[in-house]
């Protein structure tokens, strides 16, 4: 497995916690989950999106949430309760890059600072393998979602991802 294709922080975290995975090359133009799945003939439900949430308070606190791309992150109820904060929003692209040092389209919870909680939607654990970013737009990770729980800040959360509004997509 060629770990050099992954972001260095991602590769280091995988090694530190012994997270079993496969790294694969990705054409950067297909880095977004939906594009990747369509181009590489992977069912969209096998991908996993990492979404960074930020508090609207000072100092800003962050959380990484991993959900299926076919669901919507429940920021208003679930994440608000998990973080114990009333005012939250999706982190801006600038905040996400500053926090992760990763490229948009490749951001993954693996490799984030260890004080950032990682919330993983329970629905992901029904799958034998999920597709995640590699920290850049030119690599992807395939792993069993159970492997993510090797990170000490990771927690399995029921109801983190919810169905999108009727007639819409996530």
pLDDT in tens, 102-113: 999 899 999 999
Rounded to two decimals, the pTM is 0.92
Q: DSSP strand E in 42-101: where?
A: 49-55, 62-67, 72-73, 88-90
Contact yes or no for 43/23 (Cβ under 8 A): no
Whether the pLDDT of residue 170 is over 60: the answer is no
Contact yes or no for 5/138 (Cβ under 8 A): yes
Q: Can the peptide bond before residue 27 be classed as cis, meaning omega within 30 degrees of 0?
A: no
Q: How far apart are CA 3 and CA 76, in angstroms?
A: 37
Task: Domain ranges for the chain, please list them.
Answer: 3-151
CATH class of 3-151: alpha beta
Q: Give residue 36's pLDDT.
A: 85
pLDDT tier for residue 167 given thresholds of 50, 70 and 90 = low
Whether the pLDDT of residue 1 is over 70: the answer is no
Q: How far apart are CA 27 and CA 37, in angstroms?
A: 12
Please give the distance of CA 49 from its chain centroid, rounded to a whole number: 5
């Amino acid at each position: 497995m060629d770990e050099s294709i992954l972001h260095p922080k991602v590769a280091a975290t995988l090694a530190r916690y012994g997270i079993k995975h496969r790294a694969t090359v990705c054409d950067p133009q297909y880095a977004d989950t939906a594009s990747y799945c369509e181009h590489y003939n992977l069912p969209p439900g096998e991908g996993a999106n990492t979404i960074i949430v930020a508090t609207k308070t000072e100092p800003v606190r962050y959380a990484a949430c991993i959900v299926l791309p076919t669901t919507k992150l429940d920021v208003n109820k679930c994440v608000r309760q998990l973080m114990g904060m009333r005012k939250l929003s999706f982190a801006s692209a600038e905040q996400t890059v500053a926090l992760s040092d990763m490229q948009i389209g490749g951001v993954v919870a693996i490799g984030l600072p260890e004080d950032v909680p990682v919330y993983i939607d329970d629905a992901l654990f029904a799958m034998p393998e999920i597709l995640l970013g590699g920290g850049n737009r030119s690599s992807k990770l395939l792993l069993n979602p159970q492997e993510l729980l090797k990170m000490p800040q990771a927690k399995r959360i029921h109801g983190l991802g919810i169905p999108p509004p009727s007639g819409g997509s996530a």
